[in-house]
Amino acid sequence: MDESCMFCRIVAGAAPAHQVFESDDVLAFMDHRPLNPGHVLVIPKWHEPDLHRLDEDIYLAVMKTSKRLAEVLAELFEPPKVGLFVIGFHVPHVHVHVVPLYSIDDFTADAIQLAMRTRPDQGALAETCRRVRDYVSKAG
Ligand SMILES: [Zn+2]
C-alpha cells in the first residue's frame, strides 16, 4: 500500500467510497465526480500506476470486472454506449472508468474538467451506488 495514494487508502478502508463490488483482487466504486450518473471506477487492490505493468492475472481480473459492470450499467441506464477508458493523470493507481455515454461529447477534456470542478451530490451518489450494487449482487 502507498499511504499517499487515495485509492490504496480506499482499499485499506482508510478513506470512504461508494463501493459496488469487491473480490480478492479488485474493488469497484462510484466515481465521486461522475461524468454521467453510473460512472464507476474499477481498480486492482495493489498499487500500480500503469495498466500495462499489472500482473497478467490482475489485469484480467480488472478487465473482467469492468466488462461485468459495463453490462450492469447498460441494463440499468440504457445509454447508447458504455465507455471504458484508462488515463490516470489524477490518481496514479490503475483505474478503469466505466461510464454510461450518451454522446461523444460526454468524454472530452472540457467534460472531464467540468466534472472535476463540480461539487459531488452525495445523496445522488449513494442512491446510484445502491442501484448498481443491488443489480450486481442480484445478477451474480
Ligand atoms: Zn495506490
**Active-site residue, 47 included:** no
CB distance 79 to 39 below 8 Å: no
Tell me which residue has cell 486492482. 44
Can you read off the three cell numbers belonging to residue 96? 478503469
Q: How do residues 38-82 score in pLDDT, each as one tens digit? A: 999 999 999 999 999 999 999 999 999 999 999 999 999 999 999
pLDDT category of residue 94 using cuts at 50, 70 and 90: very high
Q: What is the set of domains in the chain, with CATH numbers?
A: 6-132 (3.30.428.10)
Residue 75 CA, ligand 1 centroid: distance in Å: 30
Residue 93 CA, ligand 1 centroid: distance in Å: 5
Q: In the structure, how many helices (H) and strands (E) does the chain have?
A: 4, 5
Instruction: Note the pTM of the prediction, 2 decimals.
Output: 0.94
pLDDT category of residue 116 using cuts at 50, 70 and 90: confident
User: Which of 18, 39, 95, 97 is an active site residue?
Assistant: 95
CB distance 7 to 96 below 8 Å: no
Residue 126 CA, ligand 1 centroid: distance in Å: 23
CA distances from 19 to 30, 126, 127 (A): 6, 10, 12
